[in-house]
A and B are shown apart, each in its own frame.
Chain A
């Protein structure tokens, strides 16, 4: 915590809370994965949970809620060569307005070294009315490493007249090559047409599933629709992106889970 005073005291101050959670995974030499680094701060607490099959799993446990306006939260996860790290969250993240009127930032930095496997599967981000949040997720994947990344956004809580404002960026780099760079901006004050027929079309839940696998170089999955408002698309490299829109979080989750199950099935070809 680098904000003045405690996390509680930092709430609402112009600078908000600064907090970083770090996890580093490495092979433990016995066929499993150790977590030599596992540290959280303030609203970003990390807890190791049971896992098997050579995996290490950790959950972000929302100790305080947030992010609130002015907060600056960072998650850094690093899977060293050969490690298998699964990272999730115990509950949804709820963005709320702060007292300062400042925007909040939530940065996620994922790094998978050669031969490593990293899964980032947090629960939904709910963008509450009046909040203003910029999320930036950056995944750096070495050639030969594997990644599963899921992000879901719910625009507004039930009963909110309008969602908050969200800018959600996602960048994937495999080796030296940036394979995906996208940024969605929505909510009050977003550029015109964000809720119109070209962008969200009134949908209030959306999600992205990004899967990187070396074998996609030789056999890329075929682009396909997944229902009315979702598609699986191979990127210009060994990765696929699933984008899904839905009426609610459940609908989006169903589509993304289905897509991941299909990709995980031994026979993923058509």
Chain B
């Protein structure tokens, strides 16, 4: 050891140094991660216009519904992609779980935008291959899973990230659309957080069955109003959010 002298002696580490990367997940899940999400309301813009979401309580109900349907499906797709499942098969499975063409187009747009940012952030040959295979974009959760791999994270990280995104996007859009107190929206996210954790875990369990059972093992929870509302929203001549 070099005989460096320093007045500061941190002493022995307080415990085992965590080996699993964690900060990369914070980077990826940060609402300011520049992958286009800010312009998408996750269906809240239509739900606000239809007066189904009017306040914090209805926002929470919206978030719970979205989490357990589209959120669970996205989380499982992301986890499966992060675990190395063929992205082409997962993308088809995502199509089958997304009857609304407006939502399929949105998922591909967001996937393409995420991939652009991720390739600049965590360059990785698998991301390059994904971009070549899907020049018009793969479903966002499938891309998310691949990005998670490139960032050195795991399937549970992918699932939690997707599950969280399924509620964080609508919550921040509701702040802008309803003039909701930002504290109320954040309280909704905190209230839903345990369900996000459970959803992430359920998604990972499903993803782990894919190697043996195929993509049919992935959840397919459906939310009719999200799908119908997405088609309504796509037809608006004037809108603030892309979806």
A/B contact in complex, CB under 8 angstroms: yes
Q: How many residues of A contact B (CB 8 A)?
A: 36
A192-B68, A223-B101 known; A183+B221 contact, CB < 8 A: yes
Contact between A182 and B93 (Cβ–Cβ < 8 Å)?
no
Contact between A184 and B224 (Cβ–Cβ < 8 Å)?
yes
Whole-angstrom distance from the CB of B226 to the nearest CB of chain A? 5
* A window 163-180: CB within 8 A of B: 169, 171, 177-180
What are 16 A-B pairs at a CB distance below 8 A? A178-B96, A179-B95, A181-B97, A181-B220, A182-B97, A182-B220, A182-B222, A185-B221, A197-B225, A206-B224, A233-B99, A235-B96, A236-B92, A241-B99, A245-B224, A245-B225
Q: How far is the CA of A191 from the CA of B72 in the complex (A)?
A: 11
Any B CB within 8 A of the CB of A224: yes
Whole-angstrom distance from the CB of B108 to the nearest CB of chain A? 11
Chain B residues close to A by CB (< 8 Å): 43, 47, 52-53, 58, 61-69, 72, 92-93, 95-97, 99-102, 104, 195, 215-216, 219-228, 231-232, 234-235
Residues of A within 8 A of B231 (CB): 223-225, 231, 233
Any B CB within 8 A of the CB of A194: yes
Q: Give 8 closest A-B pairs by Cβ, nearest first.
A: A193-B65, A196-B61, A193-B64, A198-B65, A197-B52, A191-B68, A192-B64, A182-B222
Tell me the interface secondary structure of chain B in the complex.
Answer: helix
Contact between B99 and A198 (Cβ–Cβ < 8 Å)?
no
Any B CB within 8 A of the CB of A35: no
Q: How far is the CA of A267 from the CA of B184 in the complex (A)?
A: 51
A192-B195, A236-B95, A236-B104 known; A201+B52 contact, CB < 8 A: yes
Chain B, Cβ-Cβ closest to A198: B65
Contact between A223 and B65 (Cβ–Cβ < 8 Å)?
no
Q: How far is the CA of A233 from the CA of B95 in the complex (A)?
A: 12
Residue with the highest number of chain B CB atoms closer than 10 Å, among A197, A199, A243: A197
Residues of A within 8 A of B222 (CB): 182-184
Whole-angstrom distance from the CB of A167 to the nearest CB of chain B? 10
A178-B216, A245-B228 known; A199+B99 contact, CB < 8 A: no
Interface string of A4-48 (1 = CB under 8 A from B): 000000000000000000000000000000000000000000000
Any B CB within 8 A of the CB of A85: no
Contact between A193 and B62 (Cβ–Cβ < 8 Å)?
yes
The listed residue (A199, A201, A231, A241) touching B69 by CB distance below 8 A is A199
Chain B, Cβ-Cβ closest to A236: B95
Whole-angstrom distance from the CB of A172 to the nearest CB of chain B? 8
Residues of B within 8 A of A236 (CB): 92, 95-96, 104
Q: How far is the CA of A243 from the CA of B101 in the complex (A)?
A: 13
Q: How far is the CA of A225 from the CA of B228 in the complex (A)?
A: 7
Q: How far is the CA of A179 from the CA of B97 in the complex (A)?
A: 8
Whole-angstrom distance from the CB of A250 to the nearest CB of chain B? 18
Contact between B100 and A223 (Cβ–Cβ < 8 Å)?
yes
Whole-angstrom distance from the CB of A28 to the nearest CB of chain B? 36
Q: How far is the CA of A270 from the CA of B69 in the complex (A)?
A: 32
Contact between B232 and A231 (Cβ–Cβ < 8 Å)?
yes
Residues of B within 8 A of A192 (CB): 61, 64-65, 67-68, 195
